[in-house]
């Protein structure tokens, strides 16, 4: 079987789905690996490195897609500028498409995959269970994004992070508030603490309190207990959000940097920071909204823009991890390698529809919608 790796075509994307390190592993499993010319250049992986690992370099993108038994990408399928066709339409029948897919918010792509009889494995839908940890794309990428958010905050803040004792007097440490203590939030906390900031953390799940405190941050108690589902907090009510916003307003008014990370799979990000709360913040404060790609946690966020409202900078970059493309590509590639190794039997993908990882991640198969939650969108 041929594993094909095209260049990412989403604006601003610098990552690549497979790096040379993984090519050698795929070759040992019996796969042939084809890589589009310059696919890894933006991440620091040159064609020569892929060839040295055993991959073939392909210049004709249409041929690459046409020959793919398994096509591996990072981003969701979109219209390819060289063909004016959706990427799913460029694949042969019964080919596998592996990438982030977000099926619950991309109903039209699910329908197209079904029509084209392309088998879609959605990397964002891989269940968060112990045996799938090495395949967890969302964790590997949001971990780096959490780090990057803090670095951005430090760049745009008018304050230094650590306490400084100088001949001219003492400089107090920056106050950082992190909303959400998932993978991205925990990395943001750890990074901000390493830089010397005082960190407070809000998360609706009380079970993360111990993790937050172990990193040296203060936990802001939520108004009530919220259960967890599949590794994420369940969606909360409007009444809960209002109570939480009242609690947060006081903490945000004293913050120098706010990092928001709260997202609900398949739904709009919860609104945590209202316009009124922004008005109460100190002049020169910075908000990094890591949920900008799904509507934003902040009322005034604009995707992929830096806006200044009420003397507060609001940064809504939707692909923070792309700026760390070398490390991000390596981690993503290892996630995909673990997934393909798990599914491989006798040098080809072996799809067992009863397997719990397959049940969680396989969206369409042989012209049918397999994924249960996605099926419900069409019922």
Q: Catalytic amino acids?
A: 128, 133, 136, 139, 232
Whether the CB-CB separation of 201 and 221 falls below 8 Å is answered with no
Can you give the three-state secondary structure of 134-202, one letter per residue? HHCHHHHHHHHHHHHHHHHHHHHCCCCCCCEEECCEEECCCEEEEECCCHHHHHHHHHHHHCCCEEEEE
**200's tokens:** 């407070």
* d(C-alpha 286, C-alpha 307), whole Å: 10
C-alpha 61/C-alpha 80 separation (Å) is 10
Q: Are 108 and 355 in contact (CB under 8 A)?
A: no
Contact 202, 281 (CB under 8 A): no
- In angstroms, what is the C-alpha Rg of the chain? 22
* CA nearest to 205, candidates 220, 227, 188, 223: 227
How far is Cα 273 from Cα 289, in angstroms, rounded to an integer?
A: 10
Segment holding 235, helix H or strand E? none
H helical segments located in 45-85: 47-53, 61-67
Tokens of 8: 């990412």
The backbone torsions φ and ψ at residue 72, rounded to the nearest 5 degrees and listed phi first, read -115, 125
Distances (CA, A) of 42 to 21, 49, 321, 329: 16, 14, 13, 10
* C-alpha neighbours within 13 Å on the C-beta side of residue 229: 8
């Amino acid at each position: 079987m041929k594993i094909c790796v095209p260049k990412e075509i989403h604006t601003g994307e610098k990552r690549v789905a497979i790096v040379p390190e993984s090519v050698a592993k795929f070759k040992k499993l019996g796969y042939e690996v084809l890589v589009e010319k310059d696919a890894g250049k933006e991440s620091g992986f040159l064609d020569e490195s892929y060839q040295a690992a055993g991959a073939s370099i392909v210049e004709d993108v249409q041929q690459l897609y046409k020959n793919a038994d398994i096509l591996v990408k990072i981003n969701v399928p979109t219209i390819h500028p060289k063909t004016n066709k959706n990427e799913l339409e460029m694949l042969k029948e019964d080919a596998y498409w592996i990438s982030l897919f977000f099926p619950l918010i991309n109903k039209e792509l699910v329908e197209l995959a079904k029509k084209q009889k392309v088998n879609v494995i959605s990397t964002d839908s891989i269940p968060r269970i112990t045996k799938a940890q090495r395949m967890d794309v969302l964790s590997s990428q949001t971990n780096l994004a959490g780090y990057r958010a803090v670095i951005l905050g430090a760049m745009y803040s008018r304050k230094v992070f650590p306490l400084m004792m100088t001949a001219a007097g003492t400089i107090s440490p920056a106050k950082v508030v992190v909303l959400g203590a998932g993978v991205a939030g925990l990395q943001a906390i750890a990074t901000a603490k390493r830089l010397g900031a005082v960190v407070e953390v809000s998360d609706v799940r009380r079970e993360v309190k111990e993790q937050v405190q172990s990193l040296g941050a203060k936990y802001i108690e939520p108004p009530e207990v919220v259960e967890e589902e599949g590794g994420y907090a369940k969606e909360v009510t409007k009444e809960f959000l209002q109570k939480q916003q009242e609690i947060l307003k006081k903490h945000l008014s004293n913050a120098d940097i706010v990092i928001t990370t709260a997202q609900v799979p398949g739904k709009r990000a919860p609104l945590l920071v209202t316009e009124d709360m922004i008005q109460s913040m100190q002049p020169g404060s910075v908000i990094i909204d890591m949920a900008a790609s799904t509507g934003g946690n902040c009322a005034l966020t604009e995707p992929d823009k830096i806006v200044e409202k009420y003397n507060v900078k609001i940064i809504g970059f939707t692909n923070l991890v792309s700026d760390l493309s070398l490390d991000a590509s390596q981690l993503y590639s290892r996630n995909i390698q673990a997934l393909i190794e798990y599914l491989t039997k006798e040098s080809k993908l072996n799809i067992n529809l009863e397997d719990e990882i397959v049940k969680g991640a396989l969206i369409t198969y042989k012209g049918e919608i397999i994924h249960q939650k996605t099926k419900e969108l069409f019922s």
